[in-house]
Amino acid sequence: MKCPYCLEEIQDGASICRFCGKTQVAAAAAKRGGSLKVVGMCAAALVVGLFLLLAFGAHAPQETLPDRMKHSCEAQYPNDTEAQSRCFIALAMKASDDQDAAKMEQARKDAGL
């Protein structure tokens, strides 16, 4: 390859001419293009990774029925644990159509009521 400034023969891909010291624009652009390609690929991988995380893996755990029932009873009877326990049992009985009573009793014990 020839330097476009002094027309001396220089090494292919050289970024500076060893004869005149001028920067070789085509070689410098080719080098920058390579690094830009790597940066672009990394950015694309990051965007795809974030999308997959949001789409499939970043779900907040949902509150279970026993937890919702416990919180509801605690809100209704903030300083009365016996009333909270009765409230929980009443809600458990209402939910017994959908849930097994033994599971609800275990949930009451797990909730500390």
Q: Which two tokens stand for residue 76?
A: 């209704």
- The pLDDT of residue 95 is 73
The full set of domain ranges for the chain reads: 1-59, 65-110
- The pLDDT of residue 1 is 81
- The pLDDT of residue 75 is 93
The pTM score is 0.35
Q: Which two tokens stand for residue 72?
A: 């509801």
**Distances in Å between the alpha carbon of 29 and those of 8, 33, 34, 60, 89?**
20, 6, 9, 47, 74
| Average pLDDT of adjacent 10-residue blocks, the chain of 113 residues | 86 85 70 63 84 70 80 91 89 71 76 77
